[in-house]
Structure 1
Amino acid sequence: MLDVTKGRSVVVAAAVSLGLAAIGLQAAQAALPPAMMKSKTIRYCSAINLPPMEFMSPQTKPEGVDIDLGDALAKSLGLNAVYINMPFAGLIPALLADHCDAIISQLFIKKSRLQVIDEIPYMFSHEAVLLKPGAPKVPDLEALSGKKVATVTGTTATVLLDKANVALKAAGKTPIDIVAFPENTQALQQLQFGQVAAYGVAYETARYYVHKVPGQFAMGGPPYFKIATGIGLRKNETALNQALSASLATMMKNGTYATIFKKWDLGIDMLKPAGG
């Protein structure tokens, strides 16, 4: 015999659950900036040429870890995500000029940046040295003394290479010949064509190319320089900061966050949820 009471209980529970979800969404939306509420859109600034974090698909659509995360955060707030593609060095100036609402582009959290913008931590990142197969391994950056090394303007790899040069000069050794490019694609091509001996880049990107193009590139050594990475926001965007932070915390608890990082095989970069 059909248990009608039990069936009604299930329906009521489902209705309550949906009702609570709707209330939660309304509360989150109520805290959003008025312009965002009106447009139902959040604009992300991103340098969409650094796989697997953000890059263009063959259909010229943004994809990657940051894109999946940005989409999920937007959806949790009842918004649509729009990505504004630009060189990495232009991300913070564009945010400050209100050309976008947030930066999601593997932006490392640094004291110098936090003096200008706020950042919401969402992952760890590492650095690496990418080489051509067969090249001698690189135990540290100082081992690149006298060699031509590609990097991207404004990245931490550039800062670390500059720091290595200070140490090399102090030791009376030949400095690294750092060649900076505005975008990842150009730097990678220089290594591919043998114009540089190495490419200082984020570990996530180096690992992607080693697996994506077998036989073309090799890791210079294990990942190093672990650093927290965040979503960039203007300092006066308190409401948006709180809304995104709350949505991220929820995603870390309900499994959405882990699903994104496991999809891209980057469990090494995951943050632990609060109390986890």
Structure 2
Amino acid sequence: MGRGARYTVSIGSGPFSLSALLAAGILTMLAGGAAHAATVLAPPAIGKPGVITYCSAINLPPMEFLSPATKPEGLDVDIGDEIAKRLGVKAAWNNVPFSGLIPAILAGQCDAIISDLFIKPERLKVLDMVPYLYSHEVVLLKAGSPKVPGLADLSGKKVATVTGTTATILLQQENAALKTAGKPLIDIVMFPENTQALQQLEFGQVDAYGVAYEPADYYMRQDPGKFALNGPPYFKILTGIAVDKKNPALNSDISETIAAMMKDGTYGKLLAKWNLQTDAVGK
């Protein structure tokens, strides 16, 4: 696109696998700033001129949620808006249930997904993903409930999750192990949105809620004394901004822009704003 040298790190479109990127320390280099990271100069490859449309399940605070004025806000929204600003376009947010995010982008309903989407091999078959955060999984309990040291200790208990999330998959995998051991299975109750799953825990309809650490921490801060964690996070994974493989130019634009944000300190400031410094890539 005539921009000269550029530094781009993404997963899915190039010769590097996720494990190779980690082994090479490329993610750490990205966090420290790259020699060629710079503000994007040319118009991005987007479906609607002047607007980059993001698909996001906007019900996972503090990552993405609606304000009382029904305006999208959160860390992912701040990052997406900053990317749009640096690309010289406006940001539009398409609120999609989590399980529908990938079908939506493949159907051309948006240009990119920013929605705490974990980088997984099956997703990399159809998407390119720019790593920009780590995320963690926990079990959220009502305050005063007996601690749950591990997923196996949820045997015979009712646990809320959101359809299509990693928490659901991990609980299903634990059920396979429990079945082999001849123990009662976890009663996994799936909901389309996090708000509904949290309400079930709050009202005592379930014993626990399998969810990412980021919203769990937010819920506890919003209502001190109401919820508690089962313990430290039991799972850690990279999160990525996803783009259809048919749009490598936009993938490169986003990767380059994230690198620039990391280098000039904007990335760190946004994480600090939402108390999520522990999720920073490179830590």
In structure 2, the partner of 1:237 is 247
Counterpart check, 1:155 vs 2:165: yes
SS at 1:231 equivalent: strand
Structure 2 gap segments, 5+ residues each: 1-37
- Which amino acid in structure 1 is aligned with residue 45 of structure 2? P
In structure 2, the partner of 1:213 is 223
Q: For 1:146-189, what per-residue CA distance to the aligned partner results, in whole angstroms no more than 9, with x for missing partners?
A: 00000000000000000110111111100100000000011000
CA distance in structure 2 between the partners assigned to 1:124 and 1:179 by the alignment: 26
Identity of aligned residues (%): 62
Aligned residues of 1:28 and 1:243 also touching (Cα < 8 A): no
CA distance in structure 2 between the partners assigned to 1:127 and 1:34 by the alignment: 33
TM-score, L = length of structure 2? 0.85
Q: How far apart are 1:28 and its partner, in Å?
A: 3.3
Counterpart check, 1:108 vs 2:118: yes
Aligned residues of 2:134 and 2:280 also touching (Cα < 8 A): yes
Bigger RCO of structures 1 and 2 (CA < 8 A, at least 6 apart) = 2
- Which amino acid in structure 2 is aligned with residue 90 of structure 1? G
- Aligned pairs for 1:1-276 (under 5 A) are 27-29=41-43, 32-33=44-45, 35-36=47-48, 39-272=49-282
CA distance in structure 2 between the partners assigned to 1:167 and 1:129 by the alignment: 18
Structure 1 gap segments, 5+ residues each: 1-23
Structure index of larger Rg: 1
Q: For 1:21-79, what per-residue CA distance to the aligned partner results, in whole angstroms no more than 9, with x for missing partners?
A: xxx757332xx22644xx21100000000000000111110000100000011101101
Aligned residues of 2:141 and 2:227 also touching (Cα < 8 A): yes
CA distance in structure 2 between the partners assigned to 1:128 and 1:186 by the alignment: 17
* Number of residue equivalences: 246
- Which amino acid in structure 2 is aligned with residue 66 of structure 1? D
- Which amino acid in structure 1 is aligned with residue 173 of structure 2? K
Q: How far apart are 1:137 and its partner, in Å?
A: 1.0
CA distance in structure 2 between the partners assigned to 1:25 and 1:168 by the alignment: 51
- Which amino acid in structure 1 is aligned with residue 121 of structure 2? K
- CA, structure 1 residues 41+35, in 2 after alignment: closer, same or farther (shift >3 Å)? same
* Structure with the largest fraction of helix: 1
- CA, structure 1 residues 26+225, in 2 after alignment: closer, same or farther (shift >3 Å)? closer
- CA RMSD of superposed structures (Å): 1.3
Structure 1 runs (4+) deviating above 6 angstroms are none
Q: How far apart are 1:272 and its partner, in Å?
A: 2.7
CA distance in structure 2 between the partners assigned to 1:78 and 1:170 by the alignment: 55
CA distance in structure 2 between the partners assigned to 1:178 and 1:127 by the alignment: 16
Aligned residues of 1:129 and 1:201 also touching (Cα < 8 A): yes
Q: How far apart are 1:138 and its partner, in Å?
A: 1.2
- CA, structure 1 residues 248+60, in 2 after alignment: closer, same or farther (shift >3 Å)? same
Q: How far apart are 1:197 and its partner, in Å?
A: 0.1
